[in-house]
Structure 1
Amino acid sequence: MNAFLHPSDNRGHVKMGWLESKHSFSFGSWYNPKLMGVSALRVINDDLIAAHNGFGTHPHDNMEILTCVLEGTISHKDSMGNEGGISAGEWQLMSAGTGVQHSEINQGDEPVHLLQIWIIPNERNAEPNYQQIKCDPREQPNQWHLIVGPNENAPMHIRQQAEVKTAVIQQGQSLPIEATQHINYVHVISGAVKIAEHTVEAGGAIAFIEASQIEALQDAQVIWFDLPELQG
């Protein structure tokens, strides 16, 4: 199987006081010209945010920003009028479009662990939009759960021909990976999995084209990005 392996050790590691972050792709002060994203997937940041700290109000535009909270609760506020908490097992999709200001603050007494994911949209300067759902794959293991998709009937609608699914797979169990688009990218949040002949451990990922299956070598949580082949 023709595949691109992205071990956890290849990620950038940035620590600055209240924030410890591991970057799958170039971001901020950490730059690797060989790691600029896969297809429309531009950012996966694995963030640990200290108590009573966070990202103050700042702007974004023309980016689909997906947040997956793994532990704790992050408090969100934006210029569209949305305000509230996003807790472990919940997902937020902010389509920045023409521009939005937002903040993400840990108001609790314990660290918050989350993934921040950026996907480049296929529509520029659209109206900003906010969506939030609860989908904790631990409650229904060994099956794929669709989080975002290009169709309006997806749990959250993304402005790109892409789907994002997640699963908790128990040791020894397996799931099929059959893309609707062209490029598969599987990021392992925890545990270890095997895809074809490749073992991928927590924090690592693999990109590939062919249909395959994923087997849990340990209890694992994963995110599967089903991505288009971009032109140009």
Structure 2
Amino acid sequence: MNAYLHSSSERGHVKAGWLDTKHSFSFGSWYNPKYMGVGALRVINDDTIAAHNGFGTHPHDNMEILTCVLDGTISHRDSMGNERHISAGEWQLMSAGTGVQHSEMNNGDVPVHMLQIWIHPNVQNAEPNYQQILRDPKATPNEWQLIVGPHENAPMHIRQNAEVKAAYLEKGHELPIQATQKFNYVHLISGQVLIGDQTVNPGDALLFDDVTSIKALDDSQFIWFDLS
């Protein structure tokens, strides 16, 4: 198995008042030419947002923006008319297309922990849209949960030849990983896993190019990106 470990310690760490964030790839004020994305995957930001704070209204275009809430509840409002709450175990996909403005605010009394994931679309200047699902891998451990895919029958449809899957794997259990696209990238949220002969720890990610499996050395939660 050819593999490259992206260690958590190599992520950019930015702490500015209400926001404590770790960047897997170059973003905002943190730039590292070594980390500019993997295939169509451009951003994984591991954000902790203090109570009664958040991202005010700002624009996006031509980006598929996936939000995974791990703890707490974030409030979303956008120029398409959506006003929604996304709580732990829920996922949101905002396809920015020709352009959309939105805000993401923590209106609660406890911090929100979430991942913000950006994927380049394969269709430019499409009509923006919004999708949201409840898909908590902890509720159905030891199996893959498809989150987004390129087909209309996926739980959420993404404008890219890519699948994003999530799992909560209990210690000692194993799941197969079989790539359908060029890039295999697993980001570990918590726990410890073994992929081939490579041990992966929280915040680490592994890029690899062979059919293999993932085994939990401890109760673990992670996301698998199967990307072009």
TM-score range relative to shorter protein: over 0.9
Distance of 1:33 and 1:26 partners within structure 2: 7
What RMSD over aligned residues (CA atoms) do the two structures have, in Å?
0.4
Alignment of 1:60-75 (within 5 A): 60-75=60-75
| Structure 1 residue 192, shift from structure 2 partner | 0.7
* Mapped pair 1:178 → 2:193: no
Name stretches of at least 5 consecutive residues in structure 2 with no aligned partner. Answer: none
TM-score after normalising by structure 1: 0.98
| Structure 1 residue 209, shift from structure 2 partner | 1.2
* Mapped pair 1:226 → 2:226: yes
Aligned to 2:5: 5
Distance of 2:198 and 2:180 partners within structure 1: 22
* Mapped pair 1:30 → 2:25: no
Aligned to 2:195: 195
Q: Deviations over 1:46-72 (max 9, x none)?
A: 000000000000000000000000000
| Structure 1 residue 3, shift from structure 2 partner | 1.0
| Structure 1 residue 84, shift from structure 2 partner | 1.5
Distance of 2:180 and 2:3 partners within structure 1: 18
Residue type at the aligned position of 2:216: A
| Structure 1 residue 175, shift from structure 2 partner | 0.2
Residue type at the aligned position of 2:3: A
1:138 aligns to what SS in structure 2?
Answer: helix
Distance of 1:144 and 1:98 partners within structure 2: 32
| Structure 1 residue 4, shift from structure 2 partner | 1.3
Distance of 2:198 and 2:140 partners within structure 1: 26
The sequence identity of aligned pairs, in percent, is 73
| Structure 1 residue 182, shift from structure 2 partner | 1.9
Residue type at the aligned position of 2:211: A
2:69 aligns to what SS in structure 1?
Answer: strand
1:210 aligns to what SS in structure 2?
Answer: coil
Misfit runs of 4+, over 3 Å: none
Distance of 2:139 and 2:128 partners within structure 1: 31
Distance of 2:154 and 2:114 partners within structure 1: 22
1:67 aligns to what SS in structure 2?
Answer: strand
Distance of 1:44 and 1:24 partners within structure 2: 5
Residue type at the aligned position of 1:189: I
Distance of 1:182 and 1:34 partners within structure 2: 19
Distance of 1:211 and 1:159 partners within structure 2: 25
Alignment of 1:30-179 (within 5 A): 30-179=30-179
Total equivalences in the alignment? 228
Distance of 1:18 and 1:181 partners within structure 2: 38
Distance of 1:188 and 1:28 partners within structure 2: 23
Distance of 2:227 and 2:211 partners within structure 1: 13
Aligned to 1:20: 20
